[in-house]
Structure 1
Amino acid sequence: MRFKKGLEVGIVVFAVLILDRITKYWAMNFLNEPRIFIPNILQWRYCKNTGVAFSALSDTGVLVIWLSAIMLALLAVYLLRKPQISKVVQFCLWAVLAGGLSNLYDRIRWGFVVDFIELLFVNFAVFNIADCFITVGATLAACLLFFRKEDAQ
């Protein structure tokens, strides 16, 4: 990996990690009760998520930690080997990796992932900033790869 690319990747990963860590710290230490942010749309509510994406597979413990670590390691190895995909797709996948690392840190440190963002207009799981980067990054990467032109990378 060239130095410039490594620096760019490092900045993206670091920024996602810092943003997620700060917001989770806030939720754990200052969010004692739900707080409406946008009435009927969005509230902050501290939750302990022992599962994976949007609370699925709750209470699977160490298995989730190991599976997460393996998947993140495989993604990192793939990205570090200069994949033949566009820079935008690589950026999206680095965002997925960063979000995954932050949630993995929670699982190892606390035994759960800190969630605090709740959409009030749908019946949906409470989530966090890392989940946003994982979901948006993976969705964008999948769309870009699926709809790409064969001759343009």
Structure 2
Amino acid sequence: MLERRYHNILIFIVISISVLLLCQAIGLWVNNSIPQNTTLELSRFVHFTHLRNFGGIFGVAQGSGWLFGLISIGLLVGVSAYLIISPTLERYEYICLGFVVGGGASNITDRLVYGSVIDFIDIQQIPFWHYVFNTADVMIHLGIWPLLIISFVLNKTATNRATDGS
């Protein structure tokens, strides 16, 4: 049992570091290849628009990047500690939280290195969608959504069992 737990923690660490390195490599490429506030049109639907985000998600609270950085650091430390001390997590939780922590660490690294987050993924042709985001944001969502969906399904299954008397 303990060996499995260490293996899961190792999986979490490898995914977190891999996601961090991938996001930083892509951000470095954007920073060096696409001038700020310009767009590289990949297709009618996908553009790379190099913007700097000095605030939070979707550009909220511009100029408060330091606050979002501190909150992010606290959350990442909390999630990592939870993974290490929690005795009952499933492997998928280690995997999903590896994506969340790696993506969050990448956004924190951007804030420390550049003073802002490098955003560049600009999806076109979606009504009322005018946001630009980055690879780290994608990785965070790749971790959060499966956790939410699986926990909802498991909770619904447990509720159904309880009401059925099984």
Verify same fold: TM over 0.5.
Answer: yes
Which consecutive residues of structure 1, in runs of 5 or more, have no partner in the other structure? none
- Percent identity reads 25
Residue 142 of structure 2 is aligned to residue 139 of structure 1:
no
The root-mean-square deviation of aligned C-alpha atoms, in Å, is 1.8
Structure 1 position 130, deviation (Å): 0.6
Residue 51 of structure 2 is aligned to residue 58 of structure 1:
no
Task: Tell me the distance in 1 between the aligned counterparts of 2:87 and 2:140.
Answer: 19
Task: Tell me the distance in 2 between the aligned counterparts of 1:18 and 1:49.
Answer: 20
Match of 1:8 in 2: 11
Match of 1:37 in 2: 42
Task: Tell me the distance in 1 between the aligned counterparts of 2:69 and 2:87.
Answer: 26
Task: Tell me the distance in 2 between the aligned counterparts of 1:63 and 1:116.
Answer: 22
Distance 1:112 1:133, change over 3 A: same
Distance 1:132 1:83, change over 3 A: farther
Structure 1 position 136, deviation (Å): 2.4
Of residues 83, 86, 109, the one that matches 1:82 is 86
Distance 1:10 1:85, change over 3 A: closer
My pick for the range that moved more, 54-63 or 93-102, is 54-63
Q: Secondary structure at the match of 1:117?
A: strand
Match of 2:164 in 1: none
Structure 1 position 126, deviation (Å): 0.6
Which one has a larger percent helix, Structure 1 or Structure 2? 2
Structure 1 position 83, deviation (Å): 4.8
Larger Rg: 2
Distance 1:5 1:89, change over 3 A: closer
Distance 1:135 1:87, change over 3 A: same
Task: Tell me the distance in 1 between the aligned counterparts of 2:87 and 2:99.
Answer: 16
Which consecutive residues of structure 2, in runs of 5 or more, have no partner in the other structure? 162-166
CA contact (8 A) 1:89 1:144 kept: no
Residue 32 of structure 2 is aligned to residue 26 of structure 1:
no
Task: Tell me the distance in 2 between the aligned counterparts of 1:22 and 1:12.
Answer: 15
- With the length of structure 2 as denominator, give the TM-score of the two structures: 0.82
Residue 73 of structure 2 is aligned to residue 72 of structure 1:
no
Match of 2:130 in 1: 124
Cα deviation code 1:37-83 (max 9, x no counterpart): 122x1011111011122222221132222111111111111111135
Q: Secondary structure at the match of 1:48?
A: strand
